[in-house]
């Protein structure tokens, strides 16, 4: 049996212009009603191909010496970094802002937040650096800094040039501890062979 054609009604919210889906409201206004929120006007979607709208909130910069306040992106974030959609691609907001002002970012460089605030998109707080600089500068309490500050191994031997061996992963080992481990292995092998 063919379905009966029904005339689509407009949303009951004044000036909405979308078609009603339930309770006389469009889907967006119906969701607001379900959540118990006051019905408000829904901003129209950005036309395809138009530049994204970047809304920010000003907060004082936590780092002294940087020009201007932090401009915190108020839109969608992932792991603290703001994201916008351009066409079908997602891009980080701070990268988008940098490219709008300075042009493309070379593949071997990264954007560093000098203010250490991930959602900040103030162009005066951003700079181009290598990955190594981005992960080592202005980072307090990183594991490599904590380990570098250690002067003795866990067994209490001092890290001196004569007693320190560098590993391929840029770590370091105590030579005396390595000798003790080798001696223990030798003793265990001797006992097993008896």
- Residues in contact with 120: Cβ distance below 8 Å, sequence separation at least 6, in sequence order: 70, 71, 72, 73, 94, 113, 126
Residues 186 and 116 in one domain: no
DSSP helix/strand/coil, 158: strand
Residue ending a domain, among 89, 109, 136, is: 136
Q: Average pLDDT for residues 43-64, to the nearest whole number?
A: 82
The shares of helix, strand and coil residues in the chain, as percent rounded to the nearest 5, are 25, 20, 50
The pLDDT of residue 4 is above 60: no
Model pTM? 0.56
Measure the CA–CA gap between 173 and 177, rounded to whole angstroms: 8
In a domain, 30, yes or no: yes
pLDDT of residue 5: 53
pLDDT of residue 95: 94
Residues 94 and 148 in one domain: no
Tell me the pLDDT tens digit for each residue of 150-166.
888 888 899 898 999 88
In a domain, 14, yes or no: yes
The domain in which residue 36 lies consists of: 8-40
In a domain, 183, yes or no: yes
Residues 93 and 69 in one domain: yes
Token pair belonging to 157: 């031997």
Look at the chain and report how many structural domains it folds into: 3
């Amino acid at each position: 049996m063919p379905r009966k054609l029904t005339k689509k009604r407009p949303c009951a919210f004044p000036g909405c212009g979308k078609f009603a889906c339930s309770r006389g409201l469009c889907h967006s206004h119906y969701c607001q009603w379900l959540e118990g929120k006051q019905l408000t006007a829904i901003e129209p979607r950005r036309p395809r191909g138009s530049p994204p709208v970047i809304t920010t909130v000003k907060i004082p910069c936590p780092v002294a010496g940087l020009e201007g306040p932090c401009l915190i992106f108020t839109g969608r974030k992932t792991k603290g970094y703001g994201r916008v959609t351009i066409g079908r691609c997602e891009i980080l907001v701070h990268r988008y802002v940098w490219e709008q002002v300075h042009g493309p970012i070379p593949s071997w460089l990264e954007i560093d937040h000098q203010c250490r605030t991930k959602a900040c998109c103030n162009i005066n707080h951003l700079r181009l650096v290598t990955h190594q600089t981005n992960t080592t500068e202005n980072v307090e309490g990183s594991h490599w800094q904590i380990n570098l500050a250690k002067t003795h191994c866990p067994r209490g031997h001092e890290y001196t040039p004569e007693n320190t061996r560098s590993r391929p992963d840029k770590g370091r080992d105590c030579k005396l501890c390595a000798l003790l481990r080798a001696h223990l292995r030798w003793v265990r092998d001797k006992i097993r062979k008896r």
